[in-house]
Structure 1
Amino acid sequence: MDAPAAEFAVREAGVHSESGADRCLTAVVPLDALLPADSPRVAGEDPRHVHALAQLDARLPPIIVHRSTMRVVDGMHRLRAARLRGDDRITVRFFEGSEADAFVYGVRLNTLAGLPLSPADRTAAAERIIGTHPQWSDRLIASATGLAASTVASLRRRCAGSAQVNARTGRDGRVRPLNAAEGRRRAVALITAKPHASLREIADVAGIAVGTARDVRQRLRLGEDPVPKKLREAESRTAADTSMALRATPVPSAPVTTGGEQPLPNLRRDPSLRFTEGGRALLQLLSAHAMGGERWQRLVESVPAHRTAMVAQAARNCAEAWQRFALELERKGA
């Protein structure tokens, strides 16, 4: 048991099966032991709803509290009503899990019962969940936020900082690749290299379902394109959207620095870097990335449409690696 909850007499409450959350425990805790909710409500709590709850004679359901942080997950209106009545303790149900999962759980509960979330609340919650759970499908996020899957898809396209993933988990718990065409092409390569491979082996290596592997093999035997027309069209639309986004994004003409002086020319003249193996390798890498806007644009135009997403992800991975490198240098120099 975590230290903040150690003083409480905790009793087993079973599994809260409503949302697939981890095991929950109930306890009666002091109000002062609780932290405010990381609430999905953009405007905060509604004072009228708080007063209405405070006037009820019936016992209110337990509020949900994140066990490891003692932060309210769901039930801020009930907590404020308890304070208004002069109570010093309240019944809580503990949520076991990460803070990100606790937020999703709170959003889901607010879409099922209690004071409804506003459209702005649900939209803001969906944008946050897209960032914390990028591997979730649009339909899964929609089911948690009460939005349409098409709305979540639109929000995901607008979230420039959202992580890129190759597969997503659906509402049924199954993981499906985003680009089904690529999985089929991997299957073609394996079937060509190993004609007698089993369907299970093809499916496992290519990351596709056994039924998809069977369909690919059958199409090859009939001389048909292993990628159905609808998948090719969807792939073309995605590539076109990515290409338009790249063209719409301005490319800086020169590397941006915090000071008025470009550091690379000075680094190139530094003997401590020029005359050591590691220093020369570092200067070569820095020089390769210190390109002007025209060269960057030529590289953008050289990427074929069907590889834009993959190259973009590779570029992001490189950028993240350089960012970690910069942070390590700053810590070293601190």
Structure 2
Amino acid sequence: MDPTGVDIVALPVVEIELSRLSSVYSPRTSGEDPEHVETLLSAQGELPPILVHRPTMRVIDGLHRLKVARVRGETKIAVRLIDGTESDAFVLAVEANVRHGLPLSLADRKRAAVRIIGTHPQWSDRRVASATGISASTVADLRKRRGQDGDEARIGRDGRIRPVDSSEGRRLAAELIRSHPDLSLRQVAKQVGISPETVRDVRGRLEQGESPIPDGSRRLRTKPESLRRPEQDFGHAGGRDRQAVLERLKADPALRLTETGRILLRMLSLHSIDGQEWERILRGVPPHWDAVVARCARDHAQIWAAFADRLEGRATDLAAG
């Protein structure tokens, strides 16, 4: 499911004449990449269907596949047709080119974000960031440059409308976290009316001794005792505690003897390597892939965060029941 609410995979596949298609929607300003075209030409089997905006017949996703079809002398190509507005179609084009295939350049992603800010001004920074593959702070900066940071409320990734100025919600969340440190992110978010991700940021700031409101200047004099913990870098992230918990989980037959349980244990083990190994992996990432790997890591971090929120919510529901 994409940010505009369209289940692309569920759309039927049809064949369309190449002569009817246009590639005007592509957010890739440099056009086709010859090396990527050559890679697709040598690929075995059929290529996936391209995505086309039905009202205009413009290609949303599949610029290189369209080029391959033309090079091969084909007259038709497999297509999934999307309805809706041109602005929503452009969002789909950007998201498709960010999440698979040949990644968009950072410059193209920023240009796309500027365009989406203009066509979807009520979208939150996080929602625009999710569609374009850049950080929410970068989106906020681009929005300020366009003079569009004065909106009172915006629509988040979950479709809910929230006020842009969350200072009061952050302050209330901080008070609740201090007085009830065992509450889950969802519980705090529900009580103060902000998103779980904002609560996560507030908690992180408190743990680092910072102000819950990101004004860039204020810092707390001391960390609350209940929130102090070792410095969270690769070498000091509670590794011993995690290993002890992991060993307990491995000993539980409910996990060790079931397929899903073994998958979970392998995932947890993979992320339980020590700080030196993390540093070695970090140094081994080629510089030209830094931005792409960083984006993938952040995407995976968001998935784990959502997974944790669901578990915490389920535990709360069981306790309440």
Is 2:37 the partner of 1:50?
yes
Equivalent of 1:75, from 62, 72, 91? 62
CA offsets 1:29-86 (integer angstroms, 9 cap, x no match): 1000111231111211112212221232310000000011111001010001100000
CA offsets 1:112-134 (integer angstroms, 9 cap, x no match): 11001111111111111111111
Q: Distance in 1 between the 2:190 and 2:100 partners? A: 40
Tell me, yes or no, if the aligned pair for 1:134 and 1:164 is still in contact at 8 Å. no
The equivalent residue for 1:21 is: 6
The equivalent residue for 2:48 is: 61
Q: Distance in 1 between the 2:66 and 2:80 partners? A: 13
Tell me, yes or no, if the aligned pair for 1:25 and 1:93 is still in contact at 8 Å. yes
Residue aligned with 2:13, SS: strand
The equivalent residue for 2:165 is: 179
The equivalent residue for 1:127 is: 114
CA offsets 1:224-276 (integer angstroms, 9 cap, x no match): xxxxx967x96x99xxxxxxxxxxxxxxxxxxxxxxxxxxxxxxxxxxxxxxx
Judging changes above 3 Å, is the alpha-carbon distance between structure 1 residues 149 and 163 closer, same or farther for their aligned structure 2 residues? closer
CA offsets 1:195-249 (integer angstroms, 9 cap, x no match): xxxxxxxxxxxxxx99459xxxxxxxxxxxxxxx967x96x99xxxxxxxxxxxx
CA offsets 1:147-202 (integer angstroms, 9 cap, x no match): 11111111111123x4853211112221101235799xxxxxxxxxxxxxxxxxxx
Q: Which has the larger radius of gyration?
A: 1
The equivalent residue for 2:124 is: 137
CA offsets 1:287-329 (integer angstroms, 9 cap, x no match): xxxxxxxxxxxxxxxxxxxxxxxxxxxxxxxxxxxxxxxxxxx
Residue aligned with 1:94, SS: strand
Q: Distance in 2 between the 1:126 and 1:59 partners? A: 32
Percent of pairs identical after alignment? 53
Aligned AA (1:86): G
Residue aligned with 1:134, SS: coil
Equivalent of 2:25, from 17, 21, 38? 38
Q: Distance in 2 between the 1:181 and 1:18 partners? A: 30
Q: Distance in 2 between the 1:25 and 1:134 partners? A: 31
Tell me, yes or no, if the aligned pair for 1:22 and 1:97 is still in contact at 8 Å. no
Residue aligned with 2:15, SS: strand
Q: Distance in 2 between the 1:31 and 1:105 partners? A: 21
Aligned AA (1:63): I
Is 2:85 the partner of 1:98?
yes
Q: How does 1:77-226 map to 2 (within 5 A)?
A: 77-160=64-147, 162=148, 164-180=150-166, 211-212=191-192
Aligned AA (2:141): S
Q: Distance in 2 between the 1:34 and 1:163 partners? A: 37
Residue aligned with 1:142, SS: helix
Q: Distance in 1 between the 2:153 and 2:115 partners? A: 19
Tell me, yes or no, if the aligned pair for 1:37 and 1:71 is still in contact at 8 Å. yes
Q: Distance in 2 between the 1:230 and 1:118 partners? A: 34
Unaligned runs of 5+ in 1: 1-16, 184-208, 214-228, 238-334
CA offsets 1:73-120 (integer angstroms, 9 cap, x no match): 010100011000000000000112111111111111111110011111
Residue aligned with 1:51, SS: helix
Q: Distance in 1 between the 2:129 and 2:121 partners? A: 13
Q: How does 1:236-315 map to 2 (within 5 A)?
A: none
Structure 1 consecutive aligned stretches of length 4 or more whose deviation exceeds 4 Å: 180-183, 209-213
Residue aligned with 1:147, SS: coil
Aligned AA (2:124): S
Tell me, yes or no, if the aligned pair for 1:134 and 1:163 is still in contact at 8 Å. no
Q: Distance in 2 between the 1:73 and 1:37 partners? A: 9
Cα RMSD of the aligned pairs, angstroms, is 3.0
Q: Distance in 1 between the 2:127 and 2:93 partners? A: 15
Judging changes above 3 Å, is the alpha-carbon distance between structure 1 residues 210 and 33 closer, same or farther for their aligned structure 2 residues? same
Q: Distance in 2 between the 1:139 and 1:90 partners? A: 35
Aligned AA (1:171): R
Equivalenced residue count is 180
Q: Distance in 2 between the 1:137 and 1:172 partners? A: 10
Aligned AA (2:44): D
